Amino acid sequence: MSYLIMLNMSFDLIRYLFVLEVNSTLVWLPKWPAMELSLLLGEVIADALPIVDARAWKKSLSAWHSYCSDVARKKASVKFVNRNPWPIDAVIFWYPAKRSYGKGERILFELKLLGRSADHELFVEVILPAMEQIAMNPYIGTKYKNSLWGHFDISSVYSARGSSWKPILKNGKLDLRRKIISSQWSNGLKFGPDSFNSLDRIRWLSPFLVAPASNKAGRTGNRKSMPVPPLSSILEAIAERVCYVTLGKYSTAMDFLNSIEKDELASWREAMKYADSNSICRHNIKKSSQLFSGLRMGSQTFKTPVHETLIPFLSLGSILHIGEYTHFGCGTYTMV
């Protein structure tokens, strides 16, 4: 049996870990630092690009600024925004931590470039300079007291090679000799079931919104969220995410099933069978935020240990992020 059908497909992914060092007496993080950084970084990138190249960035960002404004004004009807605020496929995962930091303290976040956007040249020439500008200019971004923006140094940046992180920027110096390729993220990673102990719980590390296929109203419609997604819905969300990265943004889980061989389809159906048969016995899932309707946080425990055929799928999903708002780091978890 092929334990992980989806790893037979080609995944382009580059993971960067930023280490920021606060250079002000006190800074406060917003409730959603990943979202604020995304919109701010997108604006700086758009302003630096030629007019033609900047159009796609400004168009995507405009929809999100309108959405956030409507939410802030508590409008009765807020239109669901199902569009990446950047015209490239990226994830900003802000590592869970505290809200306030003093001088010299460090803050970590991860930037993931996926699919066709997994391009180190794009990072070096476009994204990193914009990030450096945000670090140096206190007049950029949201105007509130003790903002992080303009009050930090980029202490270092690392790129993932398998389970280890290799430095590409230290003490303000970028190592241009280091070759970064979009396949190195999986070097040495073992997704096979033999690599894991008995697991029966998923702990969500970031807010999530996962909806079953039967509740999905299309790429432009509203999605009915589930208080606690069963394993089968999580598996469907992983397949959909894989298709998005490999086949394009309009692909679905069905496109994934149509693209695999008969024996692989049989393996997938077997995995779904085990997922359907393992119910949730307890959870502490609660609503997470009023900014995005339907987001939840917590952990869920299953009646029996997760079957070994599901472990590789779940491992991959935790890296790619699943469900809605993945660009802001939503939809990642750990298995315990």
Pairing of strands 100-102, 26-28: antiparallel
pLDDT for residue 165 = 97
Residue type, 163: S
Question: Looking up tokens 């299309």, which residue turns up?
Answer: 218
Separation CA 119–CA 168 (nearest Å): 15
Collect the ranges in the chain with pLDDT lower than 50. 1-4, 216-222
Instruction: State whether residue 213 is helix, strand or coil.
Output: helix
Identify the CA nearest to 127 among candidates 149, 111, 150, 147.
Answer: 111
Pairing of strands 296-297, 299-302: unpaired
Q: Please, what CATH class does the domain formed by 191-335 belong to?
A: alpha beta
Mean pLDDT of the chain: 86
Q: Helices (H) and strands (E) in the chain — how many of each? A: 8, 14
pTM: 0.90
CB 126 within 8 A of CB 113: no
Residue type, 294: G
37: left (phi over 0), alpha (psi -120 to 50) or beta: alpha
CB 310 within 8 A of CB 275: yes
pLDDT for residue 2 = 43
Question: Looking up tokens 């206190």, which residue turns up?
Answer: 138
pLDDT for residue 220 = 37
Provide CB contacts within 8 A for 19, sequence distance 6+.
Answer: 106, 107, 108, 154, 155, 156, 157, 158
Cα 227 from chain centroid (whole Å): 20
218: left (phi over 0), alpha (psi -120 to 50) or beta: left
Separation CA 93–CA 34 (nearest Å): 7
Provide CB contacts within 8 A for 321, sequence distance 6+.
Answer: 91, 93, 112, 206, 241, 329, 330, 331, 332
Instruction: State whether residue 280 is helix, strand or coil.
Output: strand
pLDDT for residue 203 = 97
CB 309 within 8 A of CB 270: yes
pLDDT for residue 217 = 41
pLDDT for residue 16 = 99
The residue ranges of every structural domain in the chain are 13-185, 191-335
